[in-house]
Amino acid sequence: MPHSPASSLPAWFLGPRGENAELLERLVVEALRDHVFWRRNYHPEDGVVIREMDKRQEGYEETVATLTQELIGLLARLKRDAPFFSGRYKGHMISEQTIAAQIGYFATMLYNPNNIAAEISPVTTRLELEVAGQLALMIGYDPARSWGHITSGGTIANFEALWLARGVRYLPVAAAGAARELGLELSVRLPGGRTALLGQLPLWELLNLTNPATLDLWELLWRSAPPDDVRRALADHSLADIGYQEYSRRLALDYGDPLPAGVVLVAATAHYSWEKIVRALGIGSNQLVHIPLDTCYRMDPDALWERTRELARRRQPVLALVSVCGTTEESAVDRLDLVLEVRSRAERELGMTFHLHSDACYGGYAAAVTRKADGGRRTAAEIQASVGADWPSPEWVRAVEALGQADSVTVDPHKMGYVPYAAGAILVRDGRARHLVATDPPYLAPTETPSTDIERFLGRYILEGSKPGAAAAAVWLSHKVLPLDERGYGYLIERTVAGARRFHAALAAADLGLFRPVVLPVPDINIVCYVICHPAVPTLEGVNALNDAIYQRMSLSRPDGAPEYIITRTRLRSPMYDGAIDPVLAQVGVTPEIWKAAPADGLVVLRSTIMEPFLAAPPPAPDHVTGFLGALRRACEEALTLRR
Amino acid sequence: MPHSPASSLPAWFLGPRGENAELLERLVVEALRDHVFWRRNYHPEDGVVIREMDKRQEGYEETVATLTQELIGLLARLKRDAPFFSGRYKGHMISEQTIAAQIGYFATMLYNPNNIAAEISPVTTRLELEVAGQLALMIGYDPARSWGHITSGGTIANFEALWLARGVRYLPVAAAGAARELGLELSVRLPGGRTALLGQLPLWELLNLTNPATLDLWELLWRSAPPDDVRRALADHSLADIGYQEYSRRLALDYGDPLPAGVVLVAATAHYSWEKIVRALGIGSNQLVHIPLDTCYRMDPDALWERTRELARRRQPVLALVSVCGTTEESAVDRLDLVLEVRSRAERELGMTFHLHSDACYGGYAAAVTRKADGGRRTAAEIQASVGADWPSPEWVRAVEALGQADSVTVDPHKMGYVPYAAGAILVRDGRARHLVATDPPYLAPTETPSTDIERFLGRYILEGSKPGAAAAAVWLSHKVLPLDERGYGYLIERTVAGARRFHAALAAADLGLFRPVVLPVPDINIVCYVICHPAVPTLEGVNALNDAIYQRMSLSRPDGAPEYIITRTRLRSPMYDGAIDPVLAQVGVTPEIWKAAPADGLVVLRSTIMEPFLAAPPPAPDHVTGFLGALRRACEEALTLRR
């Protein structure tokens, strides 16, 4: 690598001024013509279907006129869209897309492959599996043992993770029933390391086998009887077949004690879609247990341990624990290394275990920061030298390295992968788990050649059906141009972190007259949250109204539709932020009791995701930090005036 | 309309020879430049970020070189993709995309709006709701009362339909519990028409309220107590909150008799994803009840009635009935009008009802055939005159018109809407049902301005989160150029039907030497299925192997990778096709008993979806019927030779 990634960066994006327009246009036209000539070269003897004369018919002309006119209408409407490309957009987790992703998507869309099955996507199904392998390597999975694929987004990816986790968690109960029916004596490895006979395990122990032990058991079961018999026996006992209503009845019948309903532990910062997911899966949102946060909005490992002990005492099984790498609101990175330690301790001391999932939908790509070009890891000091700041801490690096130990990880290319929607991804550490949710046929025996099998028909293992091969190609091409290490995504994300830190420091030190910015802690990645206070509005209600009004002035819903800068806002609510928010409330001048008294309102917090890589760049790049502070002050003043 | 749609058709697609390449290229370049100039016009005072000098750095040049080279590599790989554009592709339900959809997608993708929330998709969220309204009108819903949106595909759309259906079906039980807790006496309308007090209804009757009565009850509940109280009370009783495990326990506790598990009735032709869906939702695949088919592969209404009676006798509730409009294998269109009559009779005679869903993912757009330009309906005779064939029958038209009476309908624009992946859609007749799956906040009170509410945050009501606004714009623009009536999609689909009928007749009459084609009944839309027989292979196993080998010769997996024509195949299996398949088996020369004895193998059937509109076109369009028959004969002979 003779040049620095800094000199590559200018070629990665179309640019806020469309600086690379010629490049993108050249590639777009090239891809389109290339596709057209493919069509012409395909059985040239077939002749033309649409004749030149057909193009001179009135209907043809009218259709072209309609198409052109409606397109121009659409283009006009799109001008009211949010300018994600600009440094003036400091709102949600969206920015520009890489040129590679844009051209990869467009070029492939002309072919429109469907990655549900290799038969109708012979090329892009392979690209999808390549991409999954690249992401697996980045987070530290063994690509040969893991499995993954692209989804339409993070919610579906997370849904699949919990769906898989449930399948694994409940398998031993189904296997015990099936083995009984088949007259098999199977041995199984317990969390402590001991081996036991499956048929002699009580329900609690069946629900507390580790994932690897469970998947070994599953393979053993298939090896111990003819496949048709195993299939039939599992269909009599597995949750997927018999459903929850019958399952609950059976547990009570077979084990006397059905145990309390299984719960899902989530970091209190978990995205609202987790509630959606547990509702849809039939687990129920009351079974979602929020683990308290520390004051940096990371899951508190001690609180996790306390909660785990309490659940063990109540003999309430845990389907899965969801840790977050890059929270939606603050980009906080849970100390996954410590969370893993809590699980190990629970296995040792409580005989309790669970599927550990990391929701790295936002933060997953930040793992590229820890990777050298040769695939090795960089130390915190090496990264700090490159960023030019005291980021990341050695603890941050350990937390990110721990991703490789999670049972599943979700990471969205359409967030910090800078590709167009829709592209999420799920990665599973032990790829055998996919067989537990396979559909057609219901229970698939371990195959001789799993990779062929996967390539042939992805639809068998995933929630979705038809899916765009173009999304896979977009991610694939983007990874080719921006490698998942210090040369590509790693450098890109470093720049956004540098920008976010400059932004954070400037906000904290900003002179906004009587307005006083209360800035949340320096983020773990690149989302900055802040609250604006003013002596005239001392109450929580007043602060919320003021910040809501500031947000309104700095969003597209502003009456004139032309905000100088665009931000977004969120609400930090009780009980999720109990304790963690206290230092912020203290700075705002509100007691936790008052904040807790209105849980629906919470604390309104302004939020800026810094995904553009130029915020910390020197001139002639526009100084969007200074510009922002001026705009913020004007918005503050307008907001206060309006309130009066 | 001065011109016929026949003269518009040549402008709808890029064309098998890229005949409209100039048009598409012009629009693509226009859209791209328009976007670039938008960027340049956005705060021009911000100056440039990427300087011309930056483009002369070594890293820049190397990145452009990598990008260009990898793109060329991708384009080369894509040449091995399936040629969906060609008349030689006669396989899966995929064909060309309309130019309008392609350019709509590309133009909008540059802006990359996210339709999860209007805040980050001010333009395309509106387009999505417009599209939902257009589709609602096409199938006969009242757009003011219905609700709908675009999904990533049919599986997610169907998932949402059943998720909504479950929410509605179980609401009365939750409402009864909540009302008891709140000390409310609410009255409710029973299927027979009588009114009763909610608190006095036994469990069976609570689970057999119609959807409108249930949604009225829901509104009544919210009007009868303060919202916070209703929310809290519902959270103590609704399945979404408490989950299945607790729910089952409560039913047993509160009603003594928990009733057998709720079932989902599906046409035996239902897509395999329904199994996936009931497994994921926790309903269980054993609760999927297949309703037998008639010999045209449509759900048999008499069999449905018998099964319904039996379930009523066993007091087993039905969560939903899934009828199909355009089956995946045969494009069969269920007689939804007769299915609706069965439900009415069940309500009258058995006091039993259920959510009625039509899976019109494939066939939904065929409803455009029944629409005049003014929105009125065309008669079967009018359509027949236009098609130039005895299609459709008046019964077909009645079945399609009945879509407007289904509680929910799914229809995939990325199938017969001819738009690029990914775009499915769900439409719900009574839009209030969406509140029952709303997430944040858990139970949303009826709002004053539902439309504003929906526009603001679609993510609240749907399974997915981030989703491409580009997909909505693609469908929207395509509907502008091809209206959902006889001028646009109606005409397009008529031409595919004419082509399919020509293909069907030619196959049935084909001289293939000793090979004998057994053709399945004339399809309800445009998918033709056939089995090739030969005296040398009299057994079912032999027929299956022969047809498998023919498929291999006519697919991209052929050793030389260059099939003359491309088809696909499927397996018709017992018990799904019991009875319905008997006439085909008789022609093949196999008894139903032999076929039933190997349910995993079934009968291998070759399958050709005719989505290209030119198959029935006169010269100079290539004669892909004659060409196909020649290729089929050669493939047959090769397949037989290989077997020897």
List the one residue out of B386, B383, B406 whose CA is nearest residue B336: B406
| Closest residue by Cα to residue B287 from A248, A175, A443, A246 | A246
Phi/psi for B566 (5° steps) reads: -120, 125
Q: Does A74 contact B107 at a Cβ distance shorter than 8 Å?
A: yes
CA dist A626 to A506, A597, B20, B299, Å?
Answer: 8, 37, 50, 67
Subunit contact A284:B240, Cβ cutoff 8 A: yes
Nearest neighbour of A282 by CB, restricted to B3, B82, B281: B281
Q: Which of B79, B248, B467 sits opposite A245 (nearest CB)?
A: B248
Q: A267 pLDDT exceeds 80? A: yes
What is the model's pLDDT at position A493? 98
**Separation CA B256–CA B506 (nearest Å):** 63
- Cβ–Cβ < 8 Å for A520, A507: no
> Closest Cα of chain A to B516: distance in Å?
27
Question: Which residues of chain B does A88 touch, with a Cβ-Cβ cutoff of 8 Å?
Answer: 42-43, 46
Q: Which residue has the higher pLDDT, B438 or B588?
A: B588
A589: left (phi over 0), alpha (psi -120 to 50) or beta: left
CA distance A161 to A593: 37
Note whether B75 contacts A473, CB cutoff 8 Å.
no
Which residues does residue A182 pair with via DSSP β-bridges, in sequence order? none
Task: Report DSSP letters for B551-592, one per residue.
Answer: HHHTSTTSTTS--SSB-EEEEE-TTTTTTTTHHHHHHHT--H
**pTM for the complete prediction?**
0.97
Residues 424-443 of A with CB under 8 A from B: 424, 437, 439-442
For the record, the structure tokens of B495 come out as 């031409």
Judge whether residue A545 has pLDDT over 50: yes
Cβ–Cβ contact A219 with B under 8 A:
no
Q: Do B46 and A88 touch (CB under 8 A)?
A: yes
B239-255 and B227-235 are packed helices; what angle lies between their axes, rounded to 10 degrees?
70
Determine contact, residues B441/B464, Cβ cutoff 8 Å: no
If you measure CA to CA, which chain B residue comes closest to A10?
A: B50
Select the more confidently predicted residue: A448 or A187: A187
- Chain B residues with CB under 8 Å of A476 CB are 74
A637 inside 8 A of chain B by CB:
no
* Cβ–Cβ contact A76 with B under 8 A: no
Please name the residues in contact with B92: beta carbons below 8 A apart, sequence gap of 6 or more: A114, A119, A120, B568, B609
CB contact under 8 A, A54 and B7: yes
pLDDT band at A455 (very low <50, low <70, confident <90, very high): low
Neighboring chain B residues of A276 at a CB cutoff of 8 Å: 439, 463
Chain centroid to CA B289: 20
Name residues whose C-beta falls within 8 Å of residue A198's C-beta, 6 or more positions apart in sequence.
Answer: A172, A175, A176, A179, A185, A186, A187, A188, A206, A217
CB atoms within 10 A of CB B25: 17
pLDDT higher than 70, residue B10: yes
Rounded to an integer, the average pLDDT of B314-333 is 97
In this structure, the strands spanning B195-197 and A516-519 are unpaired
Residue A190 burial (10 A CB sphere; 0-12, 13-18, 19+): middle
Residue B149 with chain A: CB contacts under 8 Å: none
**Contact assessment for residue B164 and residue B436, using Cβ atoms and an 8 Å cutoff:** yes
**Closest chain A CA to residue B5:** A59
| Angstroms from A615 CA to nearest CA on chain B | 10
* CB spacing of A281 vs B276 below 8 angstroms: no
Q: 3-state DSSP call for residue A339? A: helix
**Per-residue model confidence as pLDDT tens digits over B525-582:** 999 999 999 999 999 999 999 999 999 999 988 888 899 999 999 999 999 999 999 9
- Segment 549-588 of chain B within 8 Å of chain A by CB: 555-557, 568
Instruction: State the ipTM, two decimals.
Output: 0.97
Give the model confidence (pLDDT) of A278-325 as tens digits. Answer: 999 999 999 999 999 999 999 999 999 999 999 999 999 999 999 999
Tell me the three state secondary structure of residue A590.
Answer: coil
B447, pLDDT greater than 50? no
Residue B47 pLDDT = 87
Which member of A27, A81, A109 has the closest CB to residue B105?
A109
Q: How far is CA A186 from CA A218, A255, A430, in A?
A: 10, 19, 21
Cβ-defined contact of A5 to B617 (cutoff 8 Å): no
pLDDT at B442 over 90: no
Q: Which of residues 226-265 of B touch A (CB under 8 A)?
A: 235, 239-249, 258, 261-262
Between A89-98, B391-400, B618-627, the lowest mean confidence (pLDDT) is in B618-627
Could you tell me if residue B552 is left (phi over 0), alpha (psi between -120 and 50 degrees) or otherwise beta? Answer: alpha
Contacts of B147 (CB under 8 A, 6+ apart): B132, B427, B428, B431, B433, B434, B454, B461
% of residues, chain A, pLDDT over 90 = 88
**Whether the predicted pLDDT of B644 surpasses 70:** no
- Of A10, A281, A440, which has the smallest distance from its Cβ to B54's Cβ? A10
Q: CA-to-CA distance for B36 and B40, rounded, in angstroms?
A: 6
- The whole-angstrom separation of Cα B208 and Cα B343 is 12
Residue type, B527: I
State phi, psi for B530 to the nearest 5 degrees. -155, 155
Say if residue A638 is exposed, middle or buried (CB neighbours under 10 Å; 0-12, 13-18, 19+). middle
Verify whether the Cβ–Cβ distance A94 to B111 is below 8 Å: no
Sign of CA dihedral B535, B540, B546, B550: positive
A202-212 mean pLDDT: 96
C-beta atoms surrounding B32 within 10 Å: 22
Contact predicate A323/A339, CB 8 Å: yes
Choose among A50, A63, A614: nearest Cβ to B15: A50
Half-sphere exposure (CA, 13 Å, Cβ side) for A514?
8
- In this complex, the residue of A7, A86, A283 whose CB is nearest that of residue B243 is A283
Q: According to the model, what pLDDT value does residue A447 have?
A: 42
Percentage with pLDDT > 70 across chain A = 97
The closest CB to that of B287, out of A75, A122, A243, belongs to A243
Do B248 and A243 count as a contact with CB atoms less than 8 A apart? no
Q: How many CB atoms neighbour CB A433 within 10 A?
A: 25
Are the beta carbons of A284 and B79 separated by less than 8 Å? no
Average pLDDT over residues A78-87: 96
pLDDT of B443 strictly over 80: no
Asked if the C-beta of B134 comes within 8 angstroms of chain A's C-beta atoms, the answer is no
pLDDT of residue A615: 95
**Residue B330, pLDDT score:** 97
Contact assessment for residue B364 and residue B406, using Cβ atoms and an 8 Å cutoff = no
Predicted pLDDT at A444: 36
Mean pLDDT of chain A: 94
Rama region for A27: left / alpha / beta (φ>0; ψ in -120 to 50; rest): alpha
- The bridge status of strand A355-359 relative to strand A408-410 is parallel
CA nearest to A6 within chain B? B59
**Has residue A356 got a pLDDT over 90?**
yes
* Residue among A249, A421, A471 whose CB faces B467 most closely: A421
Q: Where are the beta strands (DSSP E) in B472-514?
A: none
Alpha-carbon distance A120 to nearest alpha carbon in chain B (angstroms): 6
Output the pLDDT for position B2: 53
Q: Which residues contact A421 (CB under 8 A, 6 or more apart)?
A: A153, A414, B112, B114, B466, B467, B468, B469, B470
Nearest-5° angle of CA B564, CA B569, CA B573? 165
Cβ contacts below 8 Å, chain A against chain B, sum to 538
Angstrom CA distances, A131 to A180, A469, A479, stand at 42, 12, 8
Position A448 scores a pLDDT of 35
Is residue B567 within 8 A of residue B555, CB to CB? The reply is yes
Per-residue confidence (pLDDT) for residue B601, from 0 to 100? 87
Residue B29 pLDDT greater than 90, yes or no:
yes
A22/B contact by beta carbon, under 8 A: no
Half-sphere exposure of A199 (CA within 13 A, CB side): 10
**Closest alpha carbon within chain A to B466:** A153
Verify whether the Cβ–Cβ distance B49 to A19 is below 8 Å.
yes
